[in-house]
Amino acid sequence: MKAWLLKDFGLENLELGEVLTPTPLPGELLIKVGAVSLNFRDKAIVDGIYEPHLVPKNLIPVSDAAGTVVAVGAGVTRFQVGDRVNSHLYSRWIDGEPGPDEPAYCFGMPLPGGLAEYMIIHEDSAVRAPAGMSDEEASTLPIAALTAWYSLMDVGHLQPGQTVLVQGTGGVSIFAAQIAAAHGARVIATSSNNANLDKVKALGVNEGINYRIFPDWEKKVLELTAGKGVDVTIDVAGGNGLNKSVLATKAAGVIAQVGFLTGQTAQLQLMPLIFRQTTIRGIAVAPRTSFDRMNPFLDQHGIRPVIDKVYAFDEAVQAYEHLARGPFGKVVIKVAD
């Protein structure tokens, strides 16, 4: 089969080649990949800044895929040939709290990912793709949508009428805005681009803050919430901006730390954190059962993924370059014709 292989760190070392098509073992599904979507994690792996010591040679990258079951191993009962399924990043995290070694079983690193014509997914890890979504749309769900869902619903225990802050207009943030708005919450978004703020308002965001115009954006958030702050903050930036998130979040509120776009380290100011009694929760996607709960919600509320551009399979490098520029929504690679 054709597959993109990471020969060494750096996008110039991502090469299209051929490898043996895998054969499903007992309990496994062979998936004909229809499409994959890119996340910042995928870029960080290629760039060599995401656990580089764990990246195997000739890795098939990209964790998030949607496709069709074309063969099954012995004993498979959850799916059959012809079913459309999603991959799930943490292939062994099925329910409850994560185990200490979940990252050792992630698709797209260290396990082979979906940037290939076929991939193996264990039946316990696979999730039935929404019937109303194309493979391109469904491929956006495993990290971006699920991270947003888990942060808001399972960790933030979001209630209708509460307020959510989302940072930027990338995949996780847009899904968080869509899910929160559909759940009856008020949504505030930050961005450096007024045009993007206008676009997310069309998706249910109530107020937008341009942090180029308002560098002390946390003060603007407090102004919009009568000094209270938001109930749940989706922080995708990381770095020292985490201190602003603390100030923008209500006393005893929740910050879901889902990203590190501006840095993997932060000098945290402890006194505001202590006095505001803020919960900062690191989010590394979610268990599969959360994915199972999310898809019916998306169907019920008619939530459609926002895709910036779909690239052809042989345009994977251009897709990564688009991701680096900062898309509005998701960047997708169509694998099967």
Q: Dihedrals φ, ψ of 278, to 5°?
A: -80, 140
What is the C-alpha separation between 70 and 146, in angstroms, rounded? 25
pLDDT at 127: 95
Percent of the chain with pLDDT over 70: 100
Instruction: For residue range 147-200, list pLDDT tens digits in order.
Output: 999 999 999 999 999 999 999 888 899 999 999 999 999 999 999 999 999 999
Helix axes 40-47, 316-325, angle to 10 degrees: 110
Q: Dihedrals φ, ψ of 143, to 5°?
A: -105, -55
Q: Dihedrals φ, ψ of 157, to 5°?
A: 45, 50
Amino acid at 325: R
pLDDT at 136: 97
Q: Domains along the chain?
A: 2-140+305-334 (3.90.180.10), 145-282 (3.40.50.720)
CB of 56 closer than 8 Å to CB of 111: no
Residue 313 reports pLDDT greater than 80: yes
Instruction: For residue range 248-282, list pLDDT tens digits in order.
Output: 999 999 999 998 777 888 899 999 999 999 999 99
**Mean pLDDT, residues 202-223 taken together:** 95
Per-residue burial over 71-110, b = 16 or more CB atoms within 10 Å of its CB, e = otherwise: bbbeebebbeeebbbbbbbbbbbeeeeeeeebbebbbbbb
> Other CB atoms closer than 10 Å to residue 52's CB: what's the count?
12
Residues in Cβ contact with 201 at an 8 Å cutoff, skipping those fewer than 6 apart:
208
Residue 90 reports pLDDT greater than 90: yes
pLDDT band at residue 38 using 50, 70 and 90 as cut-offs: very high
Residue 139 reports pLDDT greater than 90: yes
Stated pTM of the model: 0.91
